[in-house]
């Protein structure tokens, strides 16, 4: 792996992009040319003029909001930033429990001895949690007057009630019953909803119908337009943060020592934090404190006006798989520098070995095209896109079968995974291919369970862990 993370970017400029392209590929190439340099650093006054600088509350933080038609609103650095610098701290504008057993509908923590709320009958820790306004003013009042008690009845019983409560809470807030609700709703509507893209997706349409029937029918909240419910579904789906508090955070360590549960099982929306754009190489890491407050830090020295990004999906997946996930779950085709680069910033995280000459690396001709052919860098043999998909799926299926079939026998799992690596690593896939690295990750976990490991085994584990971290740090700078 090259040490320069941006080696791949230079390689990309050598691509012959004027070769015979089908019309679909041509169109995508043009689009990519237009925006590929945009998300990294703003260079034109046009983008800056659309920055939102009116908010005094945020003037102490070194971030500002810019927007363009591709990304919508997004965060950029207001000035040069130093690695590790805190760039944003803000409270959520919206909180709601996630699905999960025993989650309190008030505080969103796992309730040790949940009991029914004395008004609505849904689970809470105790009296104090019953009175948390997000609960008492919203679903508690509606459920008690509509007589909705747990468990949910058909046709709503196959879905966790938390999924419907999220939308109901936001719908009630959107009615602007108080000045605070009106302000919250105003901030929520500044977040992207991808309404147009979502319309066409069957599972989105299904959830939309189910939620509308629940809210307008079962809950008797009929005075909110259907489009507003769709807008809310989109806003939550696209922008919600789920709680995470770094294990080393002193607040968490203190609370855990005091035997308190601090890991909220909640969905949060933040007025500015939710606007941070996705990047397949993060420049920002974040965590939420027990209170729900979001903190964002830059992971490396960052020049003024750079785009600040954090990942919406697991970055330890290769480009074709990651881009499909982003398209299916977040409704956009990522064209960030990593996605645009055939070698994924020099890591070769999706590179296969050529099945014709067995020597060269097989790379996508057009990494931003889902159906791009793959060509060998040595002998120039070409394979269609489904070749790559079949190889990756085949390897993932083989790993799954080793883990399932030998689940009770750790030695057999270690032997099975080692055999799988012997077949694929450096032969069918590049040694750094993400599916290979995934097998190695599982292998290390299994090796760690072995009793009395030999020095050789420990050295092998060390080698694999270092390899994993060397790749991970390219996508997640700031981890070491
Ligand atoms: Zn509680
Ligand atoms: Zn209640
Ligand atoms: Zn990307
Ligand atoms: Zn070849």
Same domain, 320 and 423: no
Domain contains 297: yes
| Ligand with minimal distance to 134 CA | 2
CA dihedral 297, 301, 304, 305 (to 10 degrees): -60
pLDDT 10s digits, 291-312 = 788 999 999 999 999 999 999 9
Is the pLDDT at 251 greater than 90? The verdict is no
Are residues 169 and 228 both part of a single domain?
yes
For residues 177 and 231, state if they share a domain.
yes
Q: How far is the centre of ligand 2, averaged over its atoms, from the C-alpha of 159 (Å)?
A: 19
342 domain residue, yes or no: no
Please give the average per-residue pLDDT across 136-150, as a whole number: 96
Q: What tens digit of pLDDT does each residue of 415-443 get?
A: 999 999 999 999 999 999 999 999 999 99
Q: Which residue has the higher pLDDT, 158 or 462?
A: 462
Band (14; pLDDT cuts 50, 70, 90): very low
Predicted confidence (pLDDT) at residue 17 exceeds the cutoff of 60: no
Ligand number with the minimum distance to the CA of 349: 3
Nearest bound ligand to the CA of residue 374: 4
Write down the pLDDT at residue 123.
94
Do both 120 and 81 map to the same domain? no
Same-domain status, 82 and 127: no
Answer yes or no: is 22 within a domain. no
Residue 176 has pLDDT above 80, yes or no: yes
Q: How far is the CA of 24 from the centre of ligand 2 (A)?
A: 53
Does 325 score more than 80 pLDDT?
yes
Nearest ligand atom owner, CA of 97: 1
Q: Give 81 Cα–ligand 2 centroid separation in angstroms.
A: 45
Is residue 46 predicted with pLDDT exceeding 90? Answer: no
User: Looking at residue 261, what is its pLDDT?
Assistant: 65
Ligand (nearest to CA of 336): 3
> What's the CATH number where 285 sits?
2.170.270.10
Exposed/middle/buried for residue 152 (C-beta within 10 Å: 0-12, 13-18, 19+) = middle
CA of 451 from ligand 3 middle (Å) equals 41
Stretch 157-165: mean pLDDT, rounded?
93
What's the gap in Å between 242 CA and the centre of ligand 3?
21
Q: pLDDT band at residue 250, thresholds of 50, 70 and 90? A: low
Confidence check: pLDDT of 402 > 70: yes
Residue 402 lies in a domain: yes
Nearest to residue 413, comparing CAs of 435, 398, 427, 423?
A: 398
CB-facing half-sphere around the CA of 374: CA atoms within 13 A: 24
Higher-confidence residue of 239 and 250: namely 239
Q: Which of 186-200, 248-262, 313-327, 400-414 bottoms out in mean pLDDT, i.e. has the lowest? A: 248-262
Out of 242, 263, 287, a domain closes at 242
Give residue 11's pLDDT. Answer: 25
Ligand number nearest CA of 126 is: 1
- For residue 120, pLDDT over 60 is answered with yes
The reply to whether 163 falls in a domain is yes
Q: Residue 99: what pLDDT?
A: 86
**Residue 124 alpha carbon to ligand 1 centre in Å:** 5
Regarding whether 101 and 50 lie in a shared domain, the answer is: no
Structure confidence at residue 142 (pLDDT): 97
Q: Residue 279: pLDDT above 50?
A: yes
Evaluate if residue 15 carries a pLDDT over 90: no
Residue 378 class from Cβ within 10 Å (0-12 exposed, 13-18 middle, 19+ buried)?
A: middle
Which of 98-107, 325-334, 417-426 has maximum average pLDDT? 417-426
Whether residues 85 and 121 share a domain: the answer is no
Range of the domain at 411: 384-475
For residue 109, report the distance from its CA to the centre of ligand 1, in Å. Answer: 6
Residue range 238-265: average pLDDT? Answer: 69
pLDDT of residue 360: 97
Shortest-distance ligand to the CA of residue 131: 2
Residue 309 lies in a domain: yes
Q: Do 229 and 103 share a structural domain? A: yes
Name the one residue in this structure whose structure tokens are 């032997």. 415
Residue 235 and residue 303 in one domain: no
Asked if residue 155 has a cis previous peptide bond (ω within 30° of 0), the answer is yes
Tell me the pLDDT band of 221, cut-offs 50, 70 and 90. Answer: very high
Instruction: For the chain, give the percent of residues with pLDDT over 70.
Output: 84
Whether residues 228 and 160 share a domain: the answer is: yes
Domain shared by 460 and 444, yes or no: yes
**Structural domain count, the chain:** 3
Is the domain of 201 the same as that of 219?
yes
pLDDT at 248 over 70: no
Final residue in a domain of this structure, among 242, 263, 288 = 242
Ligand number with the minimum distance to the CA of 141: 2
Rounded to two decimals, what is the model's pTM? Answer: 0.80
Q: Taking the CA of residue 247 as centre, how many other CA atoms within 13 Å lie in the half-sphere pointing to its CB?
A: 0
CA-CA distance, 118 to 121, in Å (whole number)? Answer: 6
Ligand 1 centre distance from Cα of residue 462 (Å): 43
Is residue 54 situated within a structural domain?
yes
Q: Are 263 and 297 in contact (CB under 8 A)?
A: no
Q: What is the pLDDT of residue 430?
A: 98
Residue 72 lies in a domain: yes
Per-residue pLDDT, 44: 38
């Amino acid at each position: 792996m090259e040490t320069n993370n941006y080696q791949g970017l230079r390689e990309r400029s050598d691509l012959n992009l004027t070769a015979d392209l089908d019309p679909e590929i041509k169109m995508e190439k043009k689009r990519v040319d237009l925006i590929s340099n945009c998300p990294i650093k703003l260079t034109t006054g046009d983008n800056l003029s659309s920055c939102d600088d009116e908010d005094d509350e945020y003037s102490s933080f070194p971030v500002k909001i810019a927007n363009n038609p591709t990304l919508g609103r997004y965060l950029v650095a207001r000035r040069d930033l130093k690695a590790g610098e805190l760039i944003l701290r803000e409270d959520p504008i919206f909180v709601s429990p996630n699905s999960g057993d025993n989650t309190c509908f008030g505080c969103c923590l796992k309730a040790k001895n949940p009991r029914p709320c004395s008004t609505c009958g849904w689970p809470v820790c105790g009296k104090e949690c019953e009175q948390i306004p997000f609960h008492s003013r919203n679903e508690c009042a509606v459920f008690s007057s509509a007589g909705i008690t747990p468990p949910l009845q058909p046709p709503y019983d196959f879905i966790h009630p938390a999924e419907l409560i999220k939308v109901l809470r936001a719908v009630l807030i959107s009615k602007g019953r108080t000045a605070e609700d009106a302000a919250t709703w105003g901030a929520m509507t500044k977040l992207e909803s991808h309404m147009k893209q979502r319309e066409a997706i069957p599972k989105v349409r299904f959830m939309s119908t189910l939620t509308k029937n629940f809210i307008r029918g079962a809950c008797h909240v009929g005075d909110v337009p259907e489009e507003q419910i769709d807008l809310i579904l989109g806003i939550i789906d696209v922008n919600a943060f789920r709680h995470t508090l770094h294990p080393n955070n002193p607040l968490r360590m203190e609370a855990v020592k005091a035997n308190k549960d601090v890991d909220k099982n909640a969905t949060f929306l933040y007025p500015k934090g939710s606007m941070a754009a996705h990047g397949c190489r993060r420049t920002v890491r974040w965590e939420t404190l027990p209170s729900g407050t979001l903190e964002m830090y830059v992971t490396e020295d960052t020049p003024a006006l750079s785009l600040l990004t954090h990942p919406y999906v697991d970055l330890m997946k290769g480009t074709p798989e990651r881009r499909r996930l982003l398209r299916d779950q977040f409704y956009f085709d990522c064209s960030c520098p990593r996605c645009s680069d055939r070698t994924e910033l020099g890591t070769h995280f999706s590179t296969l070995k050529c099945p014709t000459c067995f020597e060269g690396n097989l790379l996508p001709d057009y990494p931003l095209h889902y159906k791009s052919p793959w060509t060998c860098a040595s002998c120039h043999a070409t394979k269609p896109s489904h070749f790559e998909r079949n190889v990756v799926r085949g390897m993932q299926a083989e790993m799954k079968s080793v883990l399932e079939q030998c689940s009770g026998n750790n030695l057999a799992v270690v032997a099975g995974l080692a055999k799988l690596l012997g077949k694929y690593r450096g032969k069918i896939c590049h040694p750094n291919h993400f599916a290979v690295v995934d097998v190695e990750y599982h292998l290390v976990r299994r090796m760690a369970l072995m009793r009395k490991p030999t020095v050789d085994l420990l050295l092998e584990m060390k080698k694999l862990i270092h390899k994993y971290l060397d790749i991970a740090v390219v996508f997640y700078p700031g981890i070491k």
